[in-house]
Amino acid sequence: MNYKSIAKTIIDLKDKDLELRQTLLENGQLGEGYNEEMEKLHNSNAAILSNIIDKIGYPTIDKVGKKANDAAWLVIQHSISQPELMRKALRLLKKEVDENKTSPIHLAYLSDRIAVFEGRYQLYGTQFDWDESGQLSPNPFEDIDKVNQRRKSIQLNTLEEQIEMMRKQAEIEHEVPPKNFAQRKSDFDKWRKKVGWIK
């Protein structure tokens, strides 16, 4: 079954998200905590996508096309104040990947993102943040060789190559580390508790 109008809705959600991110980036408003305007948009997008998932299941390529499938994943990745939606999407995504209906890379990024919010080690090293020395680095993981094996199995580059790429990208976008690392970590933990990632 083809869901053209739903596909367009999902792509529009992603476009609004990226437009706002670009505006905030240009105004130097990214980097110091979770921007309120962005959180509001992410929550609004999450509510719309959650209703779509309730209607049609996970928006796979065969239902909505590749562009809308990629867009749905990005909206889910950014639904960070909605743990239940992200966990539900992860369960659905696992099933779709097992049936070769969607990208295992999407699953890797989403499972790592949830792991970081829940305070667990990531398996693929896809999630990055500023470290205490002011470098953009992967969030905690255990064994780099195993991480690289997993990355290779889904056609991702090595973690070492990804670190270099992420740091270059941050330079290009003039992203800067937080002024107060300890404060940022404390704010992050308070936010995780508030939205329900941790108790």
Q: Is residue 7 included in any domain, yes or no?
A: yes
Domain shared by 1 and 96, yes or no: yes
Number of domains into which the chain is organized: 2
Domain shared by 155 and 64, yes or no: no
Distance CA 87, CA 96 (A): 14
Domain shared by 98 and 129, yes or no: no
Residue-number span of the structural domain to which 2 is assigned: 1-102
Place of tokens 């690392």: 181
Averaged pLDDT, groups of 10, the chain, 199 residues long:
90 97 86 86 98 95 94 97 97 94 94 98 97 95 97 98 97 87 92 96
Q: Which of 102, 133, 155 is where one domain is finished? A: 102
Q: Which of 67, 102, 137 is where one domain is finished? A: 102
Q: Is residue 112 included in any domain, yes or no?
A: no
Q: What is the pLDDT of residue 31?
A: 67
Domain shared by 26 and 94, yes or no: yes
Q: Is residue 158 included in any domain, yes or no?
A: yes
Inter-residue contact 101 to 72 (CB < 8 Å): no
Distance CA 62, CA 65 (A): 6
Q: Is residue 165 included in any domain, yes or no?
A: yes
3-state secondary structure 105-164: HHHHHHHHHHHHHHCCCECCCCCEEECCCCCEEECCECCHHHHHHHHHHCCCCCHHHHHH
Q: Is the pTM of this model over 0.75?
A: yes
Q: Is residue 111 included in any domain, yes or no?
A: no
Place of tokens 């079954």: 1
Domain shared by 91 and 57, yes or no: yes
Domain shared by 53 and 17, yes or no: yes
